[in-house]
Amino acid sequence: MNPKSLALALALALAAAPALAKGDPLAAALQKVVEQQISAFNAENLAGSMATIDTRSPEYQPTEQELAAQFPTGSLSAALTSFQFVGHDDEFAVARVKIQVSAPKGEEFVDNVSDTMMLFHQQNGAWRIWGDYLIGVQTLE
């Protein structure tokens, strides 16, 4: 994520009204996008994974290339461990998302939980992931 996007995400996080109740329809819609992306990732479905990302995002092509290279060789699985809606303005929405990524025993991969701030944007009336900023990674051993 470029510095301008990061600044926007942080500004939204700090300036937004407190997160709404868990039943908030926007929070539910954003969480559904993340769950769809994880489901597509676990199925090694490139088209499904990319359908959750705004095609205008600067991260679209690099993500597509990384996933195309990962899927044929990978046996990783992902699971959503935490989703916290932060807020929104008239164009973007922000959530803090934690995803655990694991590999089968014996593979050369360190299971981990990534902690990110995800930025969402609407494309053709549907919420899509615009980008994310990695806060940290916790390894699981």
For the chain, what are the domain ranges?
Answer: 3-14+23-139
The predicted pLDDT at position 7 comes to: 46
- What is the pTM for the complete model shown? 0.83
- Cα 86 to Cα 31: distance, rounded to the nearest angstrom: 12
**Per CATH, domain 3-14+23-139 is 3.10.450.50:** yes
The predicted pLDDT at position 111 comes to: 95
The predicted pLDDT at position 1 comes to: 53
| pLDDT beneath 50: ranges in the chain | 6-21
Q: Tell me the C-alpha to C-alpha distance, in Å, between residue 50 and each of 36, 72, 90, 91, 107.
A: 10, 16, 24, 21, 26
The predicted pLDDT at position 52 comes to: 98
The predicted pLDDT at position 22 comes to: 61
The predicted pLDDT at position 10 comes to: 45
